[in-house]
Structure 1
Amino acid sequence: MKWQRVPLGPLQTNAYILSNEKKECVIFDPGGDGQRLVTILRSQNLTPIAILLTHAHFDHIGSVDDVLSHWDVPLYIHEKEKNWLSDPSLNGSTYFMPGHGISVKASPTLLSKEGEFIVGSFTFDLFHTPGHSPGSVSFYNKEVEVVFSGDALFNGSIGRTDLPGGNHDQLLSSIHNKLLTLPEDTLVLSGHGPETTIEAEMDHNPFLNGY
C-alpha cells in the first residue's frame, strides 16, 4: 500500500490517494482541479472505491462531483457536516469564492462513530477531531503508519478556529487526546503543507506547548 499527495484547487489543498496492490484506491479531500485528478488516476490505472472527507470546507470538496461523475463510489463525511456539502454559506465558498459557490450534489454516507472503519481492503482507525470544524475527522492507517489529519494538525502549526463552528480549546483537546496518542513515528498527512510526524509536533510545534 502507498500514498501520494496531490495539491489541488485555488488554495493548493492536499488531496491524498491511498492505493493498494490491486490498483484500488481511496481519495481524501479532492479539493479542486477535478479533471487533473481524474487524469492522474487514469494514468496510473487506479480505480477509486471511495472518497473520504476529513471535513467539508470548500477547499476540500471542490472536485467531489467531478470524481463521482467518472466513478460511482460512496462519499463519506461526518454526520455533523452533512449539510455543509450543499450549502456554500456553511462550507465557506460564499465568503472565499464570491460568485463561485460550491455545492456538492452527491448524497454522502455519514460517519458517526469512532473506531475501526473499513472500506474495501482499507482499514482505518477513525477519530472525531473537531475544533477546526465541528465534523472534522482523522483517518489513521496502521499498515502504512500515516494519519490523514485534514486541517487539525499541520507541520509546525494547527488549524484555524475563527471560521463558523471553530473552537480553539476543542481543537487542542482533539490533537492532544486523539492524534498525539498515536505512535510517535506516525506520518501526519495534513490538508496543507508538507508531511510531519507525531514526534516532531510533540517536540517542536509552538501551538501545543503549555496545553
Structure 2
Amino acid sequence: MTSIGSGGGIEVTPDIFSYTNQIVNLILVGNSNEFVLIDTGMPKAAGEIKEMIAERMGENARPNAIVLTHGHFDHVGSLVELLEDWRVPVYAHELELPYLKGEKDYPPGDPEVDSGLVAKMSTMFPNHGINIGDQVKMLPKDGTMPFMPGWKWLHTPGHTPGHVSFFREQDRTLLAGDAFVTVKQESLYKVLTQTVEISGPPRYFTTDWEQAYESVRKLEALKPEIAVTGHGLPMSGKELSENLAFLAKNFTEVAKPKSSRYVN
C-alpha cells in the first residue's frame, strides 16, 4: 500500500524536511552538520531512507540520533535495519520503551472503527513490538530534546501510551506524529490520493480515546503556525488554526469512533 506522495519530500522550513515513505512521514530536523531523524517509516525502507538522507544531507551522512513519536510498525519499520549500520542513540518516551525492548506488543487493529478499507485491513497490520535493547533511551524528563536545541517534547498519549509530539516555540512549529493527522487514515482512497483533511489519530490503532482527546486539546492550545503530522501533508496558517480548533471542539463527533473495542 502506497500513496501518490511516496518517495517525495517537502521542505517545510529551511531545517525541517518531511519525507513520505509509502503512507507515512518521517522527518529530518537540522542541517548537514547536525540533524535528527524522527521516525523510520515502513519495513524494508532502510535503503530508501539512506538514499534520501545522502541526497539531502550529503554522502555518508547519518543522524546524531533517532527520535520516535511512538513504536507502531509504520513508524519504526526500518529502525532495526538502520541500526545495523548506524550506532546512534534512539530516544522515546518512557511508556513506549516496553514496545521497543521486546517486552510488550501493541493491541491489534480494530476493523470496526470505520467503514474505510484501511480500517477493515487493520487486523492484518503488524502489532508486535521490536527489540533494540539498550540502544533505546528515555527522553529527558525536563522536556528538552537531544540534539534539537529550541525544541521540547510533549507527552500526547491516546494513540499509544507513550506517544509524543515536538514543538518549537520560536516559529510555533509542531511535529504532531499521530496525535492528529491531515488525511483520513481509515480511507484507502484518501490515503492513496493524500486528500487533505484534518483528522484525529488513526482510529484502528488508537486505544485510549479520552487521552487522545486531551492530547488534541493540548496541541491546539499551543496555537501552532505549522504542523507536520505522521500521515498527510503539512498544514499551516489559517487553514491549520481553524481546522485544529474545529477538531478540538468537535473531537467526539468527528474523531472518536461510534463503536470500538477500545472506546470504553
Tell me if both proteins adopt one fold, taking TM over 0.5 as the criterion.
Answer: yes
Q: Describe the superposition over 1:129-177 as per-residue Cα deviations: whole angstroms up to 9, x where unpaired.
A: 111111110111234542111101222111035536x22221111111x
Matches within 5 A, 1:25-36: 25-32=35-42, 33-36=45-48
Matches within 5 A, 1:91-102: 95-97=123-125
- Specify the alignment match of 1:110 in structure 2: 138
Q: Describe the superposition over 1:97-156 as per-residue Cα deviations: whole angstroms up to 9, x where unpaired.
A: 46x9662434310136353x1323533111001111111101112345421111012221
Matches within 5 A, 1:39-78: 39-43=51-55, 44-45=57-58, 46-78=61-93
Deviation at 1:92, TM superposition (A): 5.5
Identity of aligned residues (%): 26
2:63 alignment partner, SS class: strand
Residue 122 of structure 1 pairs with residue 149 of structure 2: yes
Deviation at 1:3, TM superposition (A): 1.3
TM-score between the two structures when normalised by the length of structure 2: 0.67
Q: 1:101 to 1:128 in 2, by over 3 A?
A: closer
2:77 alignment partner, SS class: coil
> After the TM superposition, which parts of structure 1 deviate over 4 Å for at least 4 consecutive aligned residues?
91-95
Q: 1:118 to 1:135 in 2, by over 3 A?
A: closer
Which amino acid letter does the alignment assign opposite residue 111 of structure 1?
A: L
Q: 1:181 aligns with which of 221, 242, 257?
A: 221
Q: 1:168 aligns with which of 209, 215, 219?
A: 209
Residue 89 of structure 1 pairs with residue 115 of structure 2: no
Looking at structure 1, the residues matched to 94 and 133 of structure 2 have their Cα atoms a distance apart, in angstroms, of 14
Q: Tell me the matched-pair count.
A: 203
1:170 alignment partner, SS class: helix
Q: Larger strand proportion, structure 1 or 2?
A: 1
Q: 1:173 to 1:198 in 2, by over 3 A?
A: farther
RMSD over aligned CA atoms reads: 2.8
Q: Larger helix proportion, structure 1 or 2?
A: 2
- Specify the alignment match of 1:3 in structure 2: 16
TM-score between the two structures when normalised by the length of structure 1: 0.82
Looking at structure 2, the residues matched to 112 and 145 of structure 1 have their Cα atoms a distance apart, in angstroms, of 21
Looking at structure 2, the residues matched to 121 and 193 of structure 1 have their Cα atoms a distance apart, in angstroms, of 23
Residue 24 of structure 1 pairs with residue 63 of structure 2: no
1:73 alignment partner, SS class: coil
Greater Cα radius of gyration, structure 1 or 2: 2
Structure 2 unpaired stretches of 5+: 1-13, 110-121, 183-197, 252-264
Q: 1:203 to 1:114 in 2, by over 3 A?
A: farther
Q: 1:157 aligns with which of 190, 199, 207?
A: 199
